[in-house]
Structure 1
Amino acid sequence: MTTRFILIRTSHAGNVGAAARAMKVMGFDDLVLVAPRWDDVLRRDETIQRASGATEVLDKARIVGTLDEALDGVSYLCATAMTPRDFGPPTFTPREHLPALAQSGQGVAFLFGSERFGMSNEDVYRCHAAISIPTHPDYGSLNLAAALQLVAYEWRLALGGFGPPKEPGGAPLADAQAVAGMLAHWEQALVDVGFLDPKAPKKLMPRLNQLFNRAQLTPEEIHILRGVAKAMSQAASGLRR
């Protein structure tokens, strides 16, 4: 599952380095710069200094001329915009939108505009959603790297976080697609046993989704939960005979 951070028309080299540092802290390394002010921004002293050791993110980063070139391999775009645009995509806070998006298994790109002008309407209109970070109503100006850090943190949480350090040889975590499949299995089982009314589901499944995200399930645990769901459906089927 691709996670990409795209900086559009960045004007300050230091922000590129700080963005790389923010990404590394959250375990991401796919950075693309669209038409930055400096052609050599990835090698400038200020960039490297502000990266504070996240040089592998800078080494892997790409510079492209257009947003189209930056989108290869991703299918869902999130704008980061302070205010909604007329006729634009729906606007959500990160915590409203990202948990469900994490379960979709899609390649996701988070787009950040220039420090001076933000994102253009044209770029925002191309996105599936706009992510707006809640800030004080009288002062909502966030530094580019600080905004990226917040979004990267919320996205990492939505993906399940890092959790406590595992013992050597500990089981890997199940991926988002496996969790989504298990949730779909549970949804059907809960309908079968009469616990979930599909005509009035309320927020049961989103809450279960968040619960399982917090649990940081392993593939073996996914298998167990699917077994429970299967048994529930079979028991319900027997009762209906």
Structure 2
Amino acid sequence: MNESALTRVRIVLVEPAGPLNVGSVARVMKNMGLNQLILVKPHCDRLSDEAKLMAVHGIDVLEKSQVVHTIPEALQGCHRIIATTGRSLSLPTHLETPREALPWLLTENFNTALLFGPEDRGLNNEELNYAQRFVCIPANSDYSSLNLAQAVAVCSYELHQAAQNPIESKLDPSFEPASFEALEGYYQHLEAVLLKIGYLYPHTAKARLEKFRRLYNKANLTNEEVALLRGILRQVDWVCQFIPPKK
């Protein structure tokens, strides 16, 4: 069983509202060998009596959990990120089942993360942009909405099962995917340059950048490749200073 890979997976809850859910998440994480819990702007006390009551023997997961203010803070140092969503019709990208996608997070070499949205709305498009792949849990079409703790339980089980039966990676063992910080820095630089040269306009930049993100996610870039792309942007920046502004 690949237990060390499980310990490198972060379970990230974005703005969780209920201490009972948070406690239940800690319990199922303990059941399935996961121990990194990060809460982004929680609307409840993760160490409340209610949370501890539901955590049972997973109280240590609660006590070691981290609270951060933004999703980028939660994802620092990650190389692979999957987001969960129930909005299968509105997201213009391929959705996978937990069984298909989650083994991708199990690596002994890199930190990875699985994102869950707030109980009342899930992750919005801006929050989904931080992930490279997207998971939707198949359920009864008459009532497909899952409770947060239930969704985490399904995904945690699939991760545990995948760790027991690891699939041999087809990637070169020396391959190192680009870090979250490197990619986000590139996207910010790309937006600034494309606005400067008039390819993007402020009112359409957000939607266009989402398409660029999906394009680069398919490429599975390395840090070296991101540095190469940023070199092009720096050269464009340099050339722009010699082009007179339009009158």
- So what's the TM-score if we normalise by structure 1? 0.63
- Residue number in structure 1 paired with 2:169: 180
* Cα deviation code 1:47-88 (max 9, x no counterpart): 011111211101110000000110123111111101236565
Relative to structure 1, the CA distance from residue 135 to residue 26 in structure 2 (aligned partners, 3 Å threshold; closer, same or farther) is same
1:60 alignment partner AA: K
Q: Which of 67, 86, 96 pairs up with 2:100?
A: 96
- Residue number in structure 2 paired with 1:127: 131
Query: Secondary structure of 2:151's partner?
Result: helix
- The 2-side partners of 1:85 and 1:66 are apart by 27
Q: Is structure 2 residue 65 aligned with structure 1 residue 61?
A: yes
Query: Secondary structure of 2:17's partner?
Result: coil
Percent of aligned positions with the same letter in both sequences? Answer: 35
- The 1-side partners of 2:93 and 2:65 are apart by 28
- The 2-side partners of 1:9 and 1:123 are apart by 12
- The 2-side partners of 1:77 and 1:146 are apart by 20
Query: Secondary structure of 2:120's partner?
Result: coil
- Residue number in structure 2 paired with 1:34: 40
State which structure, 1 or 2, has the greater radius of gyration over its C-alpha atoms.
1
Q: Which runs of structure 1 show a deviation greater than 4 angstroms over 4 or more consecutive aligned residues?
A: 85-89
Deviation (angstroms), 1:140:
0.5
- Residue number in structure 2 paired with 1:24: 30
- Residue number in structure 2 paired with 1:78: 82
- The 1-side partners of 2:109 and 2:163 are apart by 10
Flag structure 2 segments of 5+ consecutive residues without an equivalent: 174-247
Backbone CA RMSD of aligned residues? 2.4
- The 2-side partners of 1:100 and 1:66 are apart by 24
Do the aligned partners of 2:81 and 2:105 also contact (CA within 8 Å) in 1?
no
1:180 alignment partner AA: S
- The 1-side partners of 2:157 and 2:62 are apart by 19
- Residue number in structure 2 paired with 1:11: 17
- The 1-side partners of 2:157 and 2:16 are apart by 21
Relative to structure 1, the CA distance from residue 97 to residue 50 in structure 2 (aligned partners, 3 Å threshold; closer, same or farther) is same
* Cα deviation code 1:207-241 (max 9, x no counterpart): xxxxxxxxxxxxxxxxxxxxxxxxxxxxxxxxxxx
Relative to structure 1, the CA distance from residue 11 to residue 142 in structure 2 (aligned partners, 3 Å threshold; closer, same or farther) is same
- The 1-side partners of 2:141 and 2:75 are apart by 33
Query: Secondary structure of 2:78's partner?
Result: coil
- The 1-side partners of 2:127 and 2:64 are apart by 24
- The 1-side partners of 2:89 and 2:81 are apart by 16
Flag structure 1 segments of 5+ consecutive residues without an equivalent: 162-175, 186-241
Relative to structure 1, the CA distance from residue 137 to residue 104 in structure 2 (aligned partners, 3 Å threshold; closer, same or farther) is farther
Do the aligned partners of 1:89 and 1:128 also contact (CA within 8 Å) in 2?
no
Query: Secondary structure of 1:33's partner?
Result: strand
Do the aligned partners of 1:75 and 1:108 also contact (CA within 8 Å) in 2?
yes
Do the aligned partners of 1:11 and 1:114 also contact (CA within 8 Å) in 2?
yes
Relative to structure 1, the CA distance from residue 58 to residue 101 in structure 2 (aligned partners, 3 Å threshold; closer, same or farther) is closer
- Residue number in structure 2 paired with 1:149: 153
Do the aligned partners of 1:89 and 1:124 also contact (CA within 8 Å) in 2?
no
Query: Secondary structure of 1:159's partner?
Result: helix
Deviation (angstroms), 1:105:
4.9
Report how many aligned residue pairs link the two structures.
167
Query: Secondary structure of 1:69's partner?
Result: helix
- The 2-side partners of 1:49 and 1:101 are apart by 30
* Cα deviation code 1:27-48 (max 9, x no counterpart): 111000000113xx12211101
